[in-house]
Amino acid sequence: MRPMKFSRWSTLLAMAAITLLPASAQVDLTGVWNPQYLEDQPERIPGPELIDFGGIPINDFARKWALSWAPDRLGLQEHQCQVHTAAYIYRGPLQLRIWEERDPQTQNIVALRQYTSTYEQNRTIWMDGRSHPPEWAPHTWMGFSTGKWDGNILTVHTTHIKQGWHRRNGIPSSDKIDLIDHFILHGDQLTHISVVTDPVYLAEPLIKSEDYVKGTNPNGNWLWPCEYVNELPGSDRTKVPSYLPGTNPFLDEFRTKYNLPLDAVLGGPETMYPEYMEKIKAARK
């Protein structure tokens, strides 16, 4: 084998290789992250009120779905352990732990792993360029994710997510959603932005953001084992609670409490833009 020759050019190229490394490759998202509730706190902590669909770009199919949804449905045995999807779970009270999985030979990042304490969800973001599964593959709460660096931003594409909710008061998300996440590091702060496209239930993409601060106590990752059981003796488990069209008893509760027009609480693309505030003000006069 010919011995390696280190010329002046090769040295220069080696230096170029190092200096031209994108800064993103040096971004380290690993560690424990605790959420701040600077955005949408009422929805995220106490939880959304019934028939408050405002600010979500739902279409009419989603609206009708949500109006027929009875909260009792979550009491059905098989719904009791249902958890948030990857498109929603970052809104919850959780501790987020991120770590890397590296190829032992090359030390390249194969995957970024995430554990969210709420509902014990593990999410893998593949960084090795693999393809997404075929259409016949099963869907999961966290879906199948692949990531890439856009500058210092980690951008993640996720498919194969289960049917869930865009808001946990009955607004459905379909099993056809497509999720793009951006994770942006600012010192000891992490901003997460998600863009959800749902060809079944959204008229426009749903964009949300959350902020996290680096945690010093990694022991906040609590466990959440869930085993469902029928808690109402004699009940018929095959009955599915729902409201027949036009009979939702909570239709006016939230809007009356906050003096809002009905259109505002029924959501839709228009209700997520700041200009809509003027319409609400006008309707209140």
Q: Is 163 in the site for other proteins (CB under 8 A)?
A: yes
Label each residue of 155-187 as H, E or C: EEEEECECCEEEECCCEEECCCCEEEEEEEEEC
Query: Which residue from 16, 45, 232, 262 is in contact with other proteins, where contact means CB under 8 A?
Result: 16
Beta bridge partners of 160: none
- SS3 state at 98: strand
**Interatomic CA distance for residues 197 and 159, integer angstroms:** 11
Q: Is 130 in the site for other proteins (CB under 8 A)?
A: no
Nearer to other proteins, 184 or 215 (CB): 184
The pair of three-digit structure tokens given for residue 23, joined into one six-digit string: 């800064």
Q: Which stretch binds other proteins (CB under 8 A): 116-124, 213-221, 248-256, 273-281?
A: 116-124
Total site size for other proteins, rule CB under 8 A = 59
For tokens 């970052």, the residue is 90
For tokens 């890397």, the residue is 100
**Interatomic CA distance for residues 67 and 243, integer angstroms:** 7
* Min dist. Cβ of residue 12 to other proteins (A): 9
- SS3 state at 282: helix
Q: Is 255 in the site for other proteins (CB under 8 A)?
A: no
**Interatomic CA distance for residues 112 and 280, integer angstroms:** 43
Q: Is 29 in the site for other proteins (CB under 8 A)?
A: no
Q: Is 199 in the site for other proteins (CB under 8 A)?
A: yes
Q: Is 53 in the site for other proteins (CB under 8 A)?
A: no
Query: Which residue from 107, 217, 238, 259 is in contact with other proteins, where contact means CB under 8 A?
Result: 238
Q: Which stretch binds other proteins (CB under 8 A): 6-14, 30-38, 205-213, 256-264?
A: 6-14
* Min dist. Cβ of residue 29 to other proteins (A): 20
Q: Which stretch binds other proteins (CB under 8 A): 37-45, 109-117, 193-201, 208-216?
A: 193-201
**Interatomic CA distance for residues 189 and 168, integer angstroms:** 27
Nearer to other proteins, 163 or 209 (CB): 163
| Per-residue contact flags (x/-) with other proteins for residues 57 to 96, judged by CB under 8 A | ----xxxxx--x----x----xx-xxx-------------
Query: Which residue from 28, 136, 187, 274 is in contact with other proteins, where contact means CB under 8 A?
Result: 136
Nearest to 30 by CA among 96, 99, 90, 111: 99
Q: Is 108 in the site for other proteins (CB under 8 A)?
A: no
Q: Is 237 in the site for other proteins (CB under 8 A)?
A: yes
- Do the beta carbons of residue 282 and residue 264 sit within 8 Å? no
Contacts of 278 (CB under 8 A, 6+ apart): none
Q: How many CA atoms lie within 13 A of 140 on its CB side?
A: 11
In angstroms, what CA-CA distances link 46 with 59, 211, 245? 26, 18, 28
Contacting residues toward other proteins, per CB under 8 A: 1-2, 4-7, 9-10, 13-14, 16-17, 20-22, 61-65, 68, 73, 78-79, 81-83, 119-121, 134-141, 155, 157, 162-163, 174-176, 180, 199-201, 224, 226, 228, 237-240, 242, 244-245
